[in-house]
């Protein structure tokens, strides 16, 4: 693997999930692979799980880790070519990406959508700037449109907890007071399209995700109908895609409750707002897989870093 930018950088999802499950049993078996190799984690946005799980994954592989909150601590970056840099941005991505490449062997980036301009977000200027100008592999720790480490952890969690051959998995929009990006939902959809499962997306009118991503997926606007006989219910808020970045509804009748969940297992990427997105009773029940999803972030990152280390060590 050269870079890990989307779930499509994985050739065989099932084999990768199985490998991650094996790594989980013996996390230190490839401790020599990352010896004298360094990963740099650059955060343009906040994180708990991604930062710690990616760091732990790298340490399990024997790597050295440097992390930087670039958004607060780094120079403001310019991305435009040929611009006269006489305003507030002090450093160009061309130098920044090449400089980072001198200090480490892999760079991992988190840079969220700003949700102001769809085209700008979809251009992924931070991630693509590093891909273009860095000379080392790049890992996506959540960009404007994708969160592939989360999606891989979710695939691992579904595999571990599925008791039927072809589970029904429902992705349901949830209310939220803030406008949130589409990255987690997009990557979950892309991952589910690679699974042998009955997959249904449910959201209110006006909240359909990017149709290029959901092409071929069943979308139901009646949540109750969608949830019938579900084995897994994955909940997530996202802002409107068609009315880009807007909060069109905060309808609490969409909030996940124990009654609506029925016998299904509950999933969410975290962080989650209790009693807005999901009621306490669900999160505190045995049906909640959220802590196991967070645990699996380590092994998702570890299998990805292992594949990249194998490529650069050749
Ligand atoms: N799920 C997830 O990416 O969590 P963090 O934002 O805390 O990293």
Q: What is the number of the ligand 1 atom nearest to the C-alpha of 269?
A: 1
Q: Give the residue from 53, 125, 120, 68 showing the smallest Cα distance to 99.
A: 68
Residue 192, pLDDT > 90, answer yes
Q: Which residues contact 80 (CB under 8 A, 6 or more apart)?
A: none
Using the predicted structure, report yes or no on whether residue 195 has a pLDDT greater than 90: yes
Give me the pLDDT at residue 80, please: 96
Give pLDDT, residue 308: 98
* Atom 4 (ligand 1) nearest CA: 49
Q: Is 255 a residue whose pLDDT tops 90?
A: yes
For a substitution probing ligand 1, which of 271, 291, 293 has the most ligand atoms within 8 Å of its CB?
Answer: 271
Task: Tell me the DSSP string of 152-203.
Answer: HHHHHHHHHH--SSS-EEEEEE---SS---SHHHHHHHHHHTTSSSEEEEE-
3-state secondary structure of 74: coil
Residue 9 has pLDDT above 90, yes or no: yes
Residue whose CA is at the smallest distance from ligand 1 atom 3: 50
The pair phi, psi for residue 232, each rounded to 5°, is: -130, 135
> What's the gap in Å between 159 CA and the centre of ligand 1?
21
C-beta separation of 49 from 149 below 8 A: no
Nearest atom, ligand 1, residue 46 CA: 6
Distance 215 CA to ligand 1 centre (A): 26
Look at residues 169, 164, 129 and name the one whose alpha carbon lies nearest to residue 42. Answer: 129
Alpha-helix residue ranges (DSSP H) falling in 61-115: 70-73, 93-103
CB of 92 closer than 8 Å to CB of 77:
yes
pLDDT at 71 over 90: no
pLDDT single digits (tens) 16-60? 999 999 999 999 999 999 999 999 999 999 999 999 999 999 999
Confidence band for 314, pLDDT divided at 50, 70 and 90: confident
170 forms beta bridges with 200, 233
Which residue's CA is the nearest one to ligand 1's atom 6?
47
Sheet of 168-173, strand order: 218-220, 198-202, 168-173, 232-236, 265-267
pTM of the model: 0.98
Give the mean pLDDT of the chain.
Answer: 98
- Atom of ligand 1 minimally distant from the CA of 45: 6
Q: Whose CA is nearest to atom 1 of ligand 1?
A: 269
**pLDDT surpasses 90 at 72:** no
Residue with token string 């579900």 = 230
Distance from the CA of 149 to the center of ligand 1, in angstroms? 10
Whether the predicted pLDDT of 304 surpasses 90: yes
Residues with a CB atom less than 6 Å from ligand 1: 47-50, 142, 150, 269-271
Burial class of residue 273 (count of CB atoms within 10 Å of its CB; 0-12, 13-18, 19+): middle
The rounded Å distance from CA 271 to ligand 1 centre is 7
Which atom of ligand 1 is the closest one to the Cα of 270?
Answer: 1
- CA–centroid distance, 210 to ligand 1, in Å, is 22
Helix, strand and coil percent figures for the chain, each rounded to 5: 40, 15, 45
- Which spans in the chain are helix H? 13-25, 49-60, 70-73, 93-103, 118-122, 125-133, 148-161, 183-192, 211-214, 223-227, 258-261, 280-283, 290-312
Percent of the chain with pLDDT strictly greater than 90:
99
126-146 average pLDDT score: 98
pLDDT of 173 higher than 90: yes
């Amino acid at each position: 693997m050269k870079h890990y930018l989307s779930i499509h950088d994985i050739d065989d999802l099932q084999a990768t999930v199985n490998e991650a499950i094996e790594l989980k049993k013996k996390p230190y078996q490839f401790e020599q692979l990352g010896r004298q190799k360094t990963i740099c984690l650059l955060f343009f946005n906040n994180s708990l799980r991604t930062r710690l799980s990616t760091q732990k994954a790298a340490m399990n592989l024997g790597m050295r880790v440097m992390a930087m909150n670039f958004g607060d601590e780094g120079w403001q970056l310019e991305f435009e070519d040929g611009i006269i840099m006489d305003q507030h941005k002090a450093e160009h991505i061309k130098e920044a990406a090449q400089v980072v490449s001198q200090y480490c062997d892999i760079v991992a980036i988190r840079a969220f959508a700003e949700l102001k301009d769809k085209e700008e977000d979809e251009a992924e200027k931070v991630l693509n700037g590093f891909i273009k100008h860095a000379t080392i592999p790049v890992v996506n720790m959540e960009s404007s449109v994708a969160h592939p480490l989360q999606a891989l952890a979710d695939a691992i969690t579904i595999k571990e907890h599925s008791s039927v051959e072809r589970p029904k998995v429902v992705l349901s929009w949830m209310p939220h007071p803030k406008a949130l990006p589409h990255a987690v939902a997009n990557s979950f959809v892309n991952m589910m399209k690679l699974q042998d499962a009955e997959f249904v997306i449910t959201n209110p009118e006006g909240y359909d995700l990017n149709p290029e991503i959901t092409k071929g997926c069943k979308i139901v606007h009646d949540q109750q109908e969608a949830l019938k006989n579900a084995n897994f219910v994955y909940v997530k808020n996202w802002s409107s895609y068609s009315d880009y970045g807007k909060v069109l509804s905060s309808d609490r009748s969409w909030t996940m409750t124990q009654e609506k969940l029925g016998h299904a297992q509950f999933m969410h990427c975290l962080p989650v707002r209790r009693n807005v997105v999901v009621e306490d009773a669900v999160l505190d029940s045995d049906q909640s897989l959220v802590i196991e999803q967070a645990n699996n972030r380590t092994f998702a990152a570890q299998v990805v870093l292992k594949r990249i280390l194998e490529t650069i060590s050749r």
